[in-house]
């Protein structure tokens, strides 16, 4: 049985969410605030978290930061009425795995949660590619024994590249995965991040090559 932690301060909605997921075979932990959520997390590790942003004792976005800083890689979907593009982008930057606006369809929410859990089950704790190693939970990335000191976006890009070595990844695909939006609004941001990452790969035996009008590929030098 999968365990789901739902953090929602609207009591009626929280109860409705709990009843729905319980009816679908989930064990549900229901928290009205972050204090209760932290207590649940200290006692059990859920398979996924459904999280509101506006909570009485803090921000859901700051809570995601807290989780990721402490090495908690549990997938999180933000379920919130704050649905402006800036809110969505900020949520992904903080480490959310998915985002769904209120009001919502329960079948869509269930599908999103199941997809997150499935993806998490297939993601290893550590990804190793030659001298490169990425600790998926903590985010620490090493070239041999040396910490590469990557930013969050550099690390996310590198993870995509090492999972797809030799494969050309379109700029729009990379932008969507790392920046969390579908449209490639700022091509320069992607180019600059890849340029920095390429420099930090120096000495690894690998480099990132730009393929004109196609995308980028991780290759052996």
Query: What pLDDT sits at residue 24?
Result: 94
10 Å CB burial of residue 203 (0-12, 13-18, 19+) is exposed
User: How far, in Å, CA of 171 to CA of 78, rounded?
Assistant: 26
Q: Could you read off the pLDDT of 74-129 as tens digits, one per residue?
A: 899 999 888 778 878 888 877 888 999 998 999 999 999 999 888 776 666 678 88
Q: 126-220: same fold as 3-121? A: no
CB-based contact 50:7 (threshold 8 Å): yes
Can you name the residues that pair with 77 across neighbouring β-strands?
50, 98
Fold of 3-121: Rossmann fold (3.40.50)
Query: What pLDDT sits at residue 43?
Result: 86
End-to-end CA distance of the chain: 47
* Domain boundary assignment for the chain: 3-121, 126-220
**Backbone phi, then psi, for 152, in 5-degree steps?**
-60, -45
Fold of 126-220: Arc Repressor Mutant, subunit A (1.10.10)
Can you name the residues that pair with 132 across neighbouring β-strands?
129, 143
Query: What pLDDT sits at residue 172?
Result: 83
Mean pLDDT of the 4-32 span:
96
Does pTM top 0.85 for this prediction?
no
């Amino acid at each position: 049985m999968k365990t789901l932690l739902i953090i929602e301060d609207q009591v009626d909605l929280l109860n409705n969410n709990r009843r729905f997921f319980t009816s679908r075979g989930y064990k549900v932990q229901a928290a009205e605030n972050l204090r209760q959520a932290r207590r649940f997390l200290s006692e059990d590790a859920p398979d996924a978290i459904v999280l509101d942003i506006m909570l009485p004792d803090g921000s859901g976005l700051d809570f995601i930061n807290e989780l990721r800083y402490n090495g908690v890689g549990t997938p999180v979907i933000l379920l919130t009425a704050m649905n402006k593009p800036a809110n969505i982008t900020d949520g992904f930057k903080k480490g959310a795995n998915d985002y769904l606006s209120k009001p919502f369809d329960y079948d869509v929410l269930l599908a999103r949660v199941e997809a997150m859990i499935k993806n998490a089950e297939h993601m290893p704790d550590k990804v190793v590619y030659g001298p490169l190693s990425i600790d998926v939970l903590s985010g620490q990335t090493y070239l041999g024994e040396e910490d590469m000191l990557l930013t969050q976006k550099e690390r996310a890009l590198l993870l995509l590249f090492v999972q797809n070595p030799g494969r050309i990844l379109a700029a729009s695909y990379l932008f969507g995965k790392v920046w969390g939006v579908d449209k490639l609004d700022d091509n320069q941001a992607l180019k600059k991040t890849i340029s920095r990452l390429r420099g930090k790969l120096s000495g690894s035996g690998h480099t990132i090559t730009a393929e004109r009008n196609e995308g980028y590929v991780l290759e052996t030098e």
